[in-house]
Structure 1
Amino acid sequence: MFFKYSICFISFFFLFFLMLLMFMMMMFFIMNNMVIMLEWEVISFNSISVMMSILLDWMSLLFMMFVLLISSVVIYYSKSYMSSEMNLNRFIMLVLLFVFSMILLIISPNIISILLGWDGLGLVSYCLVIYYQNIKSYNAGMLTALSNRVGDVFILMVIAWMLNYGSWNYIFYLEMMKNDIQMTIIGVMIIMAAMTKSAQIPFSSWLPAAMAAPTPVSALVHSSTLVTAGVYLLIRFNLLLKDMFFLKILLLLSGLTMFMAGISANYEFDLKKIIALSTLSQLGLMMSILSMGMSDLAFFHLLTHAMFKALLFMCAGVIIHMMSDLQDIRFMGGISNFIPLTSLCMNISNLALCGIPFLAGFYSKDLMLEMISMSNINMFVYMLYYISTGLTMFYTIRLMMYLMVNDYNLLSIFNLYEEDYVMLKSMFILLFMSLVSGSFLMWMIFYDPYMIYLPFNMKMMVIYVVIMGLLLGYLVSNMKIYSLNKFLLSYKLSNFLCLMWFMPSLSTYGVSYFFLKLGQNLLKNIDMGWSEMYSGQGMYNILKNYSIMYNFYQMNNFKIYLFSFVMWMMILLFILFL
């Protein structure tokens, strides 16, 4: 028992110490404007040398610091959350492997070592999603693994295309080879790989399915590791991707992802799926701002979002535990009376997600929306951004009303208990970061303030959509106007909106249905059809029928033979006379 818990503490302290080290290094690098590139010769054989490269700059160190902070807190949280788990050591080892895969991806200026980290994330995420071994987890794990394999194939193709150059250190080619057609093809492949990892349309269906993993894993995956890998890769490649036509397509797809996730979250009743869809919406926001060329803003939002999203999942984990592993928000309500501290953390992280002033999310989200208002973009994309922001407020208020305000609806007797202090301590670390990380990063990343000059109504546009979302969320969660859906929308349309635009069906049944149907038709028509008719079964039937006929002749009396003889004679005579 002691060893079972000691591995949690050792991992927590090791990662936390590493995080402090990264923080001090990052501050030193920023103040001295430093970049260090380390190369280590792994093997030298004849004229071939295999090098391992590591890039340390303020960006990789800052991101590593956030990944290590969240993972250390998640491991500490798991000590309590997974306390009844028999194989806790295996779980912690998988989480550590996951974190180190992400770190390898962050510090790599080389496409080969990026593939190692990228594939490591895909493989370990599969192991974590199927951790609770049941049919739902296996299906979700397979969907996650296969969706991510598409991105892995694109990275492999990038490696093949880079054979045209002298080395796989892509960081040297971004600026000078920008106009080369091969580099353009590489850029398109990198965008496609990032779209699969960050779950943009049409690869969105795996992200809510990955909720089958334990909640601490969800907190890690959805904040700073798996889904952010694609965004981080595009931030690193942004010098190459600027002014590419394909980015316009990415802008449209990521805007639609943001919009689709916001709508689907309003129809969802599974607590973890609502938070997963909010992650999808924020990823759409990061990818769309990246496709407009503002990589520093995307990185800023990536870090602030990591803090409050990890906290949100941790709070959800406490609530699910308390509700005897029930995740349906219709059974919850009034929980702020029973677990006030968790409710406090949940509400603050939810408000940070909405971009309420002076919380972490506000600094990045408000700056992004104001930069979009100043940009030269069309009305459709502009409205997608603002409607999606309103939808974020909509589903957040709906969730808070269902959890905190509505009546307690659980069918059994009250089984709510006071919070676990191990979980609370880990949540308070992230609560503090959700409050201060926005301003802290704002001062650190942006040396010069952005000059934003907008008309009054455009400046207030964010406030307008947030108030609109708040009112709609309040009205819908009171259940009074939810039945209006039946009148306002047809059944098929509301089904289309709540099932993520049929994307899970298309990416699972849609991919397998035609192959299975073809297989069924081949079996019916070939194996059990024509081939049966002309081979074994057919031959057997023909011979059997002939033998029955001959037997009938032989077993009957002489007149049949006589009659048949007369018939044959008549036929022969008829032929001869003709």
Structure 2
Amino acid sequence: MCLINFFFLIFLSISLLLSSLYFMLNEFIIFLEWEVLSLNSSSIVMTFLFDWMSLLFMSFVLLISSLVIYYSKEYMSEDIYINRFIMLVLLFVMSMMLLIISPNLISVLLGWDGLGLVSYCLVIYFNNIKSYNAGMLTALMNRVGDVALLMAIAWMLNYGSWNYIYYLEFMYNDMEMGLIGVLVVLAAMTKSAQIPFSSWLPAAMAAPTPVSALVHSSTLVTAGIYLLIRFNILISDSFISQLLLLLAGLTMFMSGLGANFEFDLKKIIALSTLSQLGLMMMILSLGYYKLAFFHLLAHALFKALLFMCAGAIIHNMNNSQDLRLMGGLSMYMPLTSSCFNVANLALCGMPFLAGFYSKDLILEVVSMSMVNLFIYFLFFFSTGLTVCYSLRLVYYSMTGDLNCSSLNVLNDEGWVMLKGMLGLMIMSIIGGSMLSWLMFPTPFMICLPFYLKNMTLFVCIMGGLFGYLISKVSLFFVNKSLNNYLFSMFVGSMWFMPYISTYGIISYSLKIGMNVLKNFDQGWSEFMGSQNLYGQLVNYSQYNYMMQNNNLKVYMLIFVLWILVLFMFFLFV
């Protein structure tokens, strides 16, 4: 089943890529309306929008999901329910497809909710308490965005149709359309895990690694970015775009800082995704939606590869995700390590890999834009932090000696997983330049002073150097005193966000629920209601049983008593 899906999705991906090229070269758009049902004067119409952007994005989603499904063939081979797993992944991809080609808020909501529901099923796939908690947190946090989208649908009633694509241009200054823009931004912030909705993203790591590779590259978390790219006209040059710029910058900074204090391999890569989502949101809120889309696609390639390599490493490390137990993996797993390092270098923005073309362009455009010093600092310092945690990750996993049990047999013999990873590695190398030539066919020059032009390179080198140093001293200075311990706890727990947005909110409702349970459900209502009724019924049934068990004796006794009662009655009369 995995192989059939793989070849089918690859074929679809190539077809969509070629269609996207044709649409791009001819500036061609297809708007399709399909009347599903017509009853009297009412009709249900499904609308689809096919342009170069939706086709290119679908092509990338299908490419990554096909390689992830192929990779799952070996990764999930021990699982007896692998077909169910593949079905869920395909449902996930179909929901994303529906979201991508929808110019209509109703069908956007269908895809949006499909992603939320299937992601819950995938996060709780391994049936344990940690997965259930993570799944519930993911589902409930995304509910906020779903409600915002429903409210946006309600406000769209002012316009007579839910095809938002018709109204964005000429209703730009309209109050209702401004409110719809605010609601869409709120929805996108929950899906793309921006502050204050960030705590669900690292928790969603409870899902199987192939799911993480899909979720964090091209599906769930990018849905919010894609929706804002479609709504970019509404949010440009407004107060909401300035607020989004600040929150996205803080998200990028927070996750980059937190990843340097983390020792869980998958969590570091999850925080790295959060950092890149912040970067996309920031450049989007400055009005450069094409750059955000460019980075979205380039990031999808190397992030999926990074997760697949992490999955192969965890598989070989006997399901251990702790960085401190790894070491010397480049000697035991050379091919996996090569893919891992290529993905890491692409993430850092190494020249001529996928990440370089988008990140370098974004940072140079920011240097040229009218942004204040604080936003500029967030952009460049967070880029330095990316290189810092990437180098720390490589230092802990690839160098030195293996720190876990010597009984572990580490090898590179999972050929099915390796083929999936090598396919994405090739795309991580050539994908950035390919997209750059396609999306920006006319070369343009960014003229900057010498020190600003080299600022990106300087920040990356300093970040890498700092990452090497903190790895070398093994964060000894952090654990030295209580104050530093509190600092590392503050940074490592995403600025206490899970405590504020999750535990802080639910603690009161849980306490109220406990009191209700204690005083009502297990208190007077239980004693006076169901338990009392149950006790009475038990007594009656025991009495009935006793009566029926000694029926002849009881019958004779009742007969004698009846004679006595009659005799007494006649005697007194």
Of 417, 422, 429 in structure 2, the residue corresponding to residue 423 of structure 1 is 417
Match of 1:50 in 2: 44
Match of 2:81 in 1: 87
Quote the offset at 1:468 in angstroms: 1.0
Of 323, 327, 331 in structure 1, the residue corresponding to residue 325 of structure 2 is 331
1:151 aligned partner, one-letter code:
G
Q: Could you report, residue by residue, the CA deviation over 1:276-318 in whole angstroms, capped at 9, with x for unpaired residues?
A: 0000000000001101000000000000000000000000010
> 1:488-527 alignment to 2 at 5 Å?
489-519=483-513
Quote the offset at 1:37 in angstroms: 0.5
Contact residue 475 and residue 481 of structure 1 kept, 8 A: no
For residues 397 and 44 of structure 2, the distance between their equivalents in structure 1, rounded to whole angstroms, comes to: 55
For residues 393 and 482 of structure 1, the distance between their equivalents in structure 2, rounded to whole angstroms, comes to: 21
Quote the offset at 1:521 in angstroms: 6.4
2:169 aligned partner, one-letter code:
E
Match of 2:123 in 1: 129
Question: Larger deviation: 174-183 or 482-491?
Answer: 482-491
Report the CA distance shift for 1:528/1:49 in structure 2 as closer, same or farther (over 3 A): closer
Match of 1:476 in 2: 470
For residues 522 and 121 of structure 1, the distance between their equivalents in structure 2, rounded to whole angstroms, comes to: 35
Q: Could you report, residue by residue, the CA deviation over 1:396-433 in whole angstroms, capped at 9, with x for unpaired residues?
A: 00000000013210034242123311111111110010
Quote the offset at 1:528 in angstroms: 11
Match of 1:228 in 2: 222
Of 347, 356, 373 in structure 2, the residue corresponding to residue 379 of structure 1 is 373
For residues 359 and 115 of structure 2, the distance between their equivalents in structure 1, rounded to whole angstroms, comes to: 28
Quote the offset at 1:196 in angstroms: 0.2
Match of 1:65 in 2: 59
Does 2:439 correspond to 1:445? yes
For residues 50 and 316 of structure 1, the distance between their equivalents in structure 2, rounded to whole angstroms, comes to: 45
1:478 aligned partner, one-letter code:
K
Quote the offset at 1:507 in angstroms: 2.3
For residues 423 and 526 of structure 1, the distance between their equivalents in structure 2, rounded to whole angstroms, comes to: 55
Report the CA distance shift for 1:443/1:83 in structure 2 as closer, same or farther (over 3 A): same
Match of 1:556 in 2: none
For residues 519 and 50 of structure 1, the distance between their equivalents in structure 2, rounded to whole angstroms, comes to: 43
Match of 2:285 in 1: 291
Quote the offset at 1:344 in angstroms: 0.3
Contact residue 151 and residue 197 of structure 1 kept, 8 A: yes
For residues 211 and 517 of structure 2, the distance between their equivalents in structure 1, rounded to whole angstroms, comes to: 43
Of 445, 455, 458 in structure 1, the residue corresponding to residue 452 of structure 2 is 458
Contact residue 75 and residue 92 of structure 1 kept, 8 A: yes
> 1:89-104 alignment to 2 at 5 Å?
89-104=83-98
Does 2:296 correspond to 1:302? yes
Of 177, 181, 201 in structure 1, the residue corresponding to residue 175 of structure 2 is 181
Q: Figure out how many residues of one structure are paired with residues of the other and give that number.
A: 527
For residues 23 and 96 of structure 1, the distance between their equivalents in structure 2, rounded to whole angstroms, comes to: 20
Does 2:336 correspond to 1:342? yes
Does 2:247 correspond to 1:253? yes
Quote the offset at 1:71 in angstroms: 0.3
TM-score, normalised to structure 1's length? Answer: 0.88
1:486 aligned partner, one-letter code:
K
For residues 521 and 126 of structure 2, the distance between their equivalents in structure 1, rounded to whole angstroms, comes to: 39
**What SS class does the counterpart of residue 508 from structure 1 fall into?**
helix
Gap runs ≥5 in structure 2: 529-573
Q: Could you report, residue by residue, the CA deviation over 1:189-238 in whole angstroms, capped at 9, with x for unpaired residues?
A: 00000000000000000000000000000000000000000000000000
Report the CA distance shift for 1:181/1:370 in structure 2 as closer, same or farther (over 3 A): same
Of 184, 195, 199 in structure 1, the residue corresponding to residue 189 of structure 2 is 195
Does 2:122 correspond to 1:152? no
Does 2:24 correspond to 1:23? no
Q: Could you report, residue by residue, the CA deviation over 1:451-488 in whole angstroms, capped at 9, with x for unpaired residues?
A: 31111111111111111111111111123553355359
1:146 aligned partner, one-letter code:
L
1:135 aligned partner, one-letter code:
I
**What SS class does the counterpart of residue 220 from structure 2 fall into?**
coil
Question: Larger deviation: 31-40 or 416-425?
Answer: 416-425
Contact residue 120 and residue 135 of structure 2 kept, 8 A: yes
TM-score, normalised to structure 2's length? Answer: 0.89
1:324 aligned partner, one-letter code:
N
**What SS class does the counterpart of residue 480 from structure 2 fall into?**
helix
1:501 aligned partner, one-letter code:
W
Question: Larger deviation: 520-529 or 365-374?
Answer: 520-529
For residues 412 and 146 of structure 1, the distance between their equivalents in structure 2, rounded to whole angstroms, comes to: 43
2:89 aligned partner, one-letter code:
V
Does 2:351 correspond to 1:364? no
Quote the offset at 1:492 in angstroms: 2.1
**What SS class does the counterpart of residue 381 from structure 2 fall into?**
helix
For residues 514 and 3 of structure 2, the distance between their equivalents in structure 1, rounded to whole angstroms, comes to: 54
1:114 aligned partner, one-letter code:
V
Match of 1:111 in 2: 105
Contact residue 9 and residue 76 of structure 1 kept, 8 A: yes
Of 250, 259, 268 in structure 2, the residue corresponding to residue 265 of structure 1 is 259
**What SS class does the counterpart of residue 176 from structure 1 fall into?**
coil
Contact residue 333 and residue 407 of structure 1 kept, 8 A: yes
Match of 2:556 in 1: none
Contact residue 360 and residue 436 of structure 1 kept, 8 A: yes
1:86 aligned partner, one-letter code:
I
Contact residue 42 and residue 52 of structure 1 kept, 8 A: yes
Does 2:398 correspond to 1:394? no
Of 29, 36, 39 in structure 1, the residue corresponding to residue 30 of structure 2 is 36
Gap runs ≥5 in structure 1: 1-6, 536-578
Quote the offset at 1:21 in angstroms: 1.0
2:465 aligned partner, one-letter code:
L
- % identical equivalent positions: 66
Quote the offset at 1:166 in angstroms: 1.4
Report the CA distance shift for 1:351/1:488 in structure 2 as closer, same or farther (over 3 A): farther
Runs of 4+ in 1 over 4 A off after TM superposition: 518-529
Quote the offset at 1:518 in angstroms: 4.2
Question: Larger deviation: 475-484 or 365-374?
Answer: 475-484
2:327 aligned partner, one-letter code:
G
Question: Larger deviation: 164-173 or 478-487?
Answer: 478-487
Contact residue 101 and residue 117 of structure 1 kept, 8 A: yes
Contact residue 211 and residue 218 of structure 1 kept, 8 A: yes
For residues 43 and 339 of structure 2, the distance between their equivalents in structure 1, rounded to whole angstroms, comes to: 52
Contact residue 342 and residue 419 of structure 1 kept, 8 A: no
**What SS class does the counterpart of residue 44 from structure 2 fall into?**
strand
For residues 475 and 137 of structure 2, the distance between their equivalents in structure 1, rounded to whole angstroms, comes to: 36
Contact residue 151 and residue 193 of structure 1 kept, 8 A: yes
